[in-house]
Structure 1
């Protein structure tokens, strides 16, 4: 039976992220999970003192000013991800809109070190832009750089004279970014760092924090795996750190030029090691190697990580750590002495998942995290993450622990398209209409079935966003393997939704869907790939029960296409239920997460008891 105390896993007060403010003051915005929305507090890393709760909602896209007085973020009408920049004073008394433009999507946000300017990377129907906003006179905002191609994650140099962004102008339509550096005064392109034709993408992590130092910390993939590099755009000098002792991606997080330290995570398949790389000697010092994770990559958002460890102005590492049974917490360490600043919230004893490599149809090893409950499993839940350029890590997932506590075996699959496994794996889903991901799902099911799990009569697949898309696609293309699909904010009909997507998302997927069999990019393939990608085209094959949970304000997976899928599956005789929440791409707050998990368990229980899901609620028309 379901865990009778399910709420124990969804505790308000857990740390969600901590965003350092620019400049030397050593402040950061800590975001905690509240009952209804994110809660913010300012942490002084010099004294390790935590300020009072801010009198307004904050989230993953919120950023603190260097002096700690203001918090800026996107006002997007309840979660649509399309809106305007708004800044709020930390005492809640003043609110100001910083942009006088048509609504846009935000894909990067950074204050100048002195707090005088804000650099916003925005996307609208006209393209991608770097918007330079004087904080004291937002009406004087100017566009430093524009392109019809993708431009993400703008950064400012410490003295404010240079800006950069990850751009694809050099290979239009192809998601292989280079780093373009722009003179803030003249708006001229100063230099471009790329590794083409054979070296893969180059991304900027940050400028040097030292005024007068124009160097940029890069993340490169010349070897096929992520590695750091330092590059001077004014002289062209570049130093790449090969780190041959590392066998996996080195996720490049931060750089302290004064201390000569580059912070990276050695992303081993089963655990994270947090490392300090000496920029002068390339020597590696291990800061943390106790399992769990020290960062979590994000995708299609304002910042490149949901949460990440970083370096304080005094050179110490601020570690945001988590594990399967341990909620995110914050520590400060110099590699010898460690101070816990924000401890974990109290949750019940959980069950850790184990990492297993399963072999997919073409021989590619794919990571599957898995665990069984304390008693005999009542069924199996296969969970697939969104993105696709995300990853399931050894971090705390309250829903996973809730499944296990309710008697279900759990598998979490890092399918083709997941990050931290190298470039080939990350790009493995391009242009094939879901074929590789479906093969990976089937390989995971086969491995679990060989261990007495994943009986089709009691196996469910679930995920959010791209994971929701994969859940629907799986029950259409693997109809004999599942009893139900629990799809959250899923794209079910890519063809009809194409024009409704927000402009940032549409441009990204143009690249993903245009790959031809010979490896070239051909935009004429988009229509064909969209058709193969769209679960709505497989409804005649679906035998599983299907639940869609959709946001009414969502611009990533628009509402109309979800209704169309439900209507078509219902007309084909399928057992389908579409339910709605009043938000964008995901609900916020611990209460919403608990409500969603409770509903998931109710649906699974009903299916195991033989009750159709269409009988359990009012279906949206």
Structure 2
């Protein structure tokens, strides 16, 4: 891999870590170089962009497939992951924030290298709200979010001042720009429900062409999402996702005629799609019960044909101009790899290879809102009951899957069973399951977690005297809330970047998350104070019995530091056993050394408070 800058620090990283034969497997999983699914330029498919941690920090890389050359594009202390290629492959746009605070500007760099420059001069720093780049090489549609303006969308053309074409107080975002640049699709929540978007198609001057809003005219809350315009000049078909049958499914909407072509695919679970490059077929991504698979759907014949992939999870896929499909695949036991239906590994980063882990087991538990799906990993050949970690996913609209994860694998290496719960609010189990957590936020998820905890203990898997509740972001929030509302259920808690004081978090967080909280709780803290109080970990802090470990990024715009400090002060006032680790980043870290440090601190905290020994 050729590199343009920062070679001294990368060489030190390799000398200091990658040649260490005594390194434990759990650390190798974090240090082993990995890559994302490469994005490619629509009109220059040999030019690709991907993310890698090869230097010890996640950064953007350009890859010329014709020559094989790979070049590091960005080099920042806290890493960079948000980047897009222009359709002609001439430029790489990347988002430049300050130390992970997600507030910044778009910059661009030529594909072959050179100085960075402002990509859209005239636009002030903001939170990003989508980006679409034109095939003419000079047009961009830029979405912005700020506390003062809500969401604004601008048309930026090289050499001209940006023109605002959309503005609203509620959250919105850029969906896509049509192949010929004549149509712009946006997702918006002007109706006030941040969980269920409506769609609008605009001309470049901001005038509306078409509207689609499934939130109107019924009692059910239904959402829509933009999946992309057809990749053909003059084609007014827009691929969208809908929830009309209780799950995510694709349909084709001709925004010029209003015609809707419902694919009505006979697949359980959620279904998404993207266009094949010639516009005659769709690449279907099907997610069901924590696994995923791919299909090719021929639009003319209405035929669905499987795209062979191994059992596990496909976290991204793209159809190439030659008809092949590249996809990022992993399972709980096998590390991720970028594969192709041609049978080859697309990208194989040099250096240390990640060790595998143990397979995941499926468990279904009857809960107060229906059957709950949990994923279990346990040390091979070790009988229970075991010290058990309930590792709770974030989101909340997300789900754990049969995919490789270095964090759970580290716990298994140290003798713990790991249970991951796809509680109500998780995706992949239908719209009703995802939407169920409204108003009693946090408390509903914890009811499901409690049901799975009961199964873990009664089944003989978990030692009830050694139960750890942990998670990051929303999982960190549920950890703190669970320690207070279920104080006798957990032996200790480990919360990363959590919501700890919901009212202060609301006032300090980025505007898009305020909109989400208003949707989840039914209003602002001033409008529904009783709901915020019932759902805030701070309300129950005086009931916490277990030792608490909290880690937080001081620049985090999602779970800001002030509300965490408020919670910690209450723990201190009680003399409660707790430890706090603050680090210079945002909502998590893109630096491998920092991530390893955090995991080591968590393992150490658990071992000291459960067993009185330090981990290896």
- Determine the structure 2 residue equivalent to 1:615: none
1:60 equivalent among 67, 81, 90: 81
Helix, strand or coil at the partner of 2:459: coil
**Correspondence for 1:14:** 34
The ranges of structure 1 where at least 4 consecutive aligned residues each deviate by more than 6 angstroms after the TM superposition are 521-524
> 1: CA distance between counterparts of 2:284 and 2:396?
22
**Matching residue of 1:73:** 94
Shift of 1:599: 1.1
Q: Is the 8 A contact 1:120 1:154 kept in 2?
A: no
**Is the Cα–Cα contact under 8 Å of residues 56 and 92 in structure 1 kept in the other structure?**
no
Residue 535 of structure 2 corresponds to 533
1:541-563 deviations in whole A, cap 9, x for unaligned? 11111111000111111111111
Per the alignment, do residues 575 and 153 of structure 1 end up closer, same or farther by CA in structure 2, a change over 3 Å counting? farther
- Which digits, 9 at most, give the CA deviation of each residue in 1:21-51, with x for residues without a partner? 3445353211112454213333456x59452
2:291 is matched with which residue?
Answer: 271
Name the structure 2 match of 1:359: 366
User: Aligned with 1:321: secondary structure?
Assistant: strand
> Is the Cα–Cα contact under 8 Å of residues 508 and 557 in structure 2 kept in the other structure?
yes
Match of 1:299? none
In the alignment, the residues of structure 1 paired with residue 75 and residue 110 of structure 2 have an alpha-carbon distance, to the nearest angstrom, of: 10
SS of corresponding position for 1:393: coil
Q: Is residue 2:389 matched to residue 1:373? A: no
2: CA distance, partners of 1:108 / 1:532: 34
Match of 1:195 in 2: 214
Match of 2:397 among 386, 389, 396: 389
Is 1:350 matched up with 2:357? Answer: yes
Q: What are the superposed Cα offsets for residues 93-148 of structure 1, whole Å, 9 maximum, x if unpaired?
A: 311123434431112122113332122221112111222222x32x5211221111
Conserved? CA contact 1:486–1:600, under 8 Å: yes
Distance 1:526 1:18, change over 3 A: farther
Q: Select between 4-13 and 317-326 the one with higher mean Cα deviation.
A: 4-13
Counterpart Cα distance in 2 of 1:478 and 1:487 = 15
Shift in Å, 1:270:
4.2
Q: Determine the structure 2 residue equivalent to 1:339.
A: 344
- 3-state secondary structure, aligned to 2:462: coil
How far does the alpha carbon of each residue in 1:67-90 deviate from its partner, in whole angstroms, 9 at most, with x for none?
434322222111101112222334
Are 2:138 and 1:119 aligned?
no
**1:19-98 alignment, distance < 5 Å:** 19-23=39-43, 25-44=45-64, 47=66, 49=68, 51-54=70-73, 56-57=75-76, 59-97=80-118, 98=120
Q: Secondary structure at the match of 2:428?
A: coil
Unaligned ranges ≥5, structure 1 = 296-307, 515-520, 613-621
State the alpha-carbon separation in 2 of the partners of residues 44 and 282 from structure 1. Answer: 36
Alignment of 1:524-563 (within 5 A): 526-563=528-565
User: C-alpha offsets along residues 458-502 of structure 1, whole Å, 9 cap, x if unaligned?
Assistant: 111111111100111111111111111110000100112222111
Instruction: Give SS of 2:465's match.
Output: helix
* Alignment correspondent of 1:452: 460
C-alpha distance in 2 between matches for 1:523 and 1:531: 8
Task: Decide which of 311, 318, 322 is 1:291's aligned counterpart.
Answer: 311
What is the distance in 1 between the residues matched to 2:496 and 2:276? 40
Q: Distance in 1 between matches of 2:70 and 2:64?
A: 8
Residues 167 and 178, structure 1, Cα contact 8 Å, conserved in 2: yes
Q: Is the 8 A contact 2:334 2:356 kept in 1?
A: no
How many angstroms does 1:414 deviate by?
Answer: 1.2
- Give the superposition deviation at 1:538: 0.4
Alignment of 1:571-590 (within 5 A): 571-590=573-592
**Cα-Cα RMSD:** 2.3
Q: Which moved more, 1:480-489 or 1:317-326?
A: 317-326
When the two structures are aligned, how many residues end up with a matched partner? Answer: 582
Question: Would you say 1:280 and 2:275 are equivalent positions?
Answer: no
When residues 54 and 425 of structure 1 are mapped into structure 2, their CA distance, relative to the original with a 3 A threshold, is same
Provide the rounded CA distance (Å) in 2 between the counterparts of 1:96 and 1:4: 42
C-alpha separation between the residues in 1 aligned to 2:533 and 2:471? Answer: 21
Partners of 2:101 and 2:258 in 1: CA distance: 41
Whether the 8 Å CA contact 1:510–1:526 is kept in 2: the answer is no
Structure 2: how far apart are the matches of 1:12 and 1:153? Answer: 35
Partner of 1:304: none
For the 8 Å contact 1:27–1:42, the answer to whether it is kept is: yes
How high is the TM-score relative to the length of structure 1? 0.89
Aligned equivalents of 1:367 and 1:13: distance in 2?
32
Residue aligning to 2:227: 205
Counterpart-to-counterpart distance in 2, 1:329 and 1:181: 37
Deviations 1:326-377 (A, max 9, x none): 22221222xxx33221248622241011122222123x11210002102246
Please point out which of 478, 481, 490 is paired with 1:482.
490
Decide whether the 8 Å contact of 1:26 with 1:312 is kept in 2. Answer: no
CA distance in 2, matches of 1:19, 1:234: 29
